[in-house]
Amino acid sequence: MANSFTRLISGRTAAMALARLGAGTMVTGFLLSEHGSLAAEARTKLYPPSSDFPDLRKHSNCMAAALTPAIYAKLRDKLTPNNWSLDQSIQTGVDNPGHPFIKTVGCVAGDEESYEVFAELLDPIIKDRHNGYDPKTMKHPTDLDASKITNGVFDENYVLSSRVRTGRSIRGLSLPPACSRAERREVERVVVTALAGLKGDLAGRYYSLGDMTDKEQQQLIDDHFLFDKPVSPLLTSAFMARDWPDSRGIWHNNEKTFLIWVNEEDHTRVISMEKGGNMKRVFERFCSGLKKVEHLIQERGWEFMWNERLGYILTCPSNLGTGLRAGVHVRLPKLSKDPHFSKMLDNLRLQKRGTGGVDTAATGDTFDISNNDRLGKSEVELVQMLVDGVNHLIECEKKLERGQDIKVPAPITQFRK
């Protein structure tokens, strides 16, 4: 039996012969397309994995730290059921070396199956990014019972706004880096149809990025709801800006306190937010809305991607588990100047950024403070950790205002024993 390369050559030869004889482009094109998969197969077999291994010598990301020539050789030619490859997963990490002091993940998933097919690479990346969580031996807890939160109302002399967000993916459809136009449009259809069933204080409207009026666009900009076409190389190298703005959009309730982004970095981003310091109420709305949206999607025969090892499945391994980021904009003029501020945040499992979002520096004395973890702790645990941590920071700020000393708290245990 002829091998793939022989069949490829014979296929091309036949096509070229027909072209010389005057055969139509349709016939020639058919033969070439028929052998397209053979061409890809022959090409990978023609070059050994060692010839394809990326140059990662100057890279600083989780993927570069985990990928060895042996793992690459084992996984290079594997494909998920949706034809997503290892090279596609790691391309963003190859193109973006990172910074020695800012360690990015360096890979994305193209579908739910990526986390199984490429587990030999992704499991170590997950363990590295999530501070020792081992997906081979550990199980992720899920808990959306907001009644368990205590002391969840902050002093509004310090906290300006509160927000909780997560992501959800529709099982059976490829994730944004890999999806076809048809799949992306199906995500939009499934989600928007389900959201139309929300009632009461969750009732709202969907705005398609491609169809909205100039007035609607300006209002969404004024409300700080609108998301832009990805321009970060981390996202464009992960194929997330294709066909923009096709099938992307924003849904929000009439009160503008519950939002869902469709087909941005994930199938959906779910956000509960409001001015002031009532984090408990924000989380209650988050849990209630999320449960209702899931129920409406299940009624239509769909479900979210989830498993007991990784929790909710999202595009970036950094968001596995809860995918949850609970945060506040908080004024800390004195504490932020204290030399122990960064250590305090580390021990409380919190992170700070500018109020303009990821990759922005803080301006003045106001910071966006949020939980640092996603995987290995439940939604309730992470929000309570944020609540306790921010209350501690505010108390330290008050002590400094009174001229009193403050102490760095002991480190919080990462996982339950």
pLDDT at 101: 75
Please confirm whether the linkage preceding 245 is cis (ω < 30° from 0). yes
pLDDT at 364: 73
Neighbours of 107 (CB within 10 A): 28
For residues 144, 195, 280, 162, the Cα torsion angle rounded to the nearest 10 degrees is 120
Residue type, 370: S
Condensed to tens digits (0 to 9), the pLDDT of residues 194-245 reads 999 999 999 999 999 999 888 988 888 888 888 888 888 999 999 999 999 9
Distances in whole angstroms, Cα of residue 126 to Cα of each of 30, 178, 195, 208, 340: 43, 20, 32, 34, 29
pLDDT at 227: 84
**Cβ–Cβ under 8 Å, residues 172 and 410:** no
Say how far apart CA 297 and CA 279 lie, in whole Å. 27
pLDDT at 32: 39
CA contacts within 13 A on the Cβ side of 150: 1
Which residues of the chain are under the pLDDT cut of 70? 1-44, 356-363, 415-417
Q: Dig out the tokens for 30 from the structure.
A: 């058919």
| Separation of CA 183 from chain center | 18
Q: What is the pTM (predicted TM-score) of this model?
A: 0.86
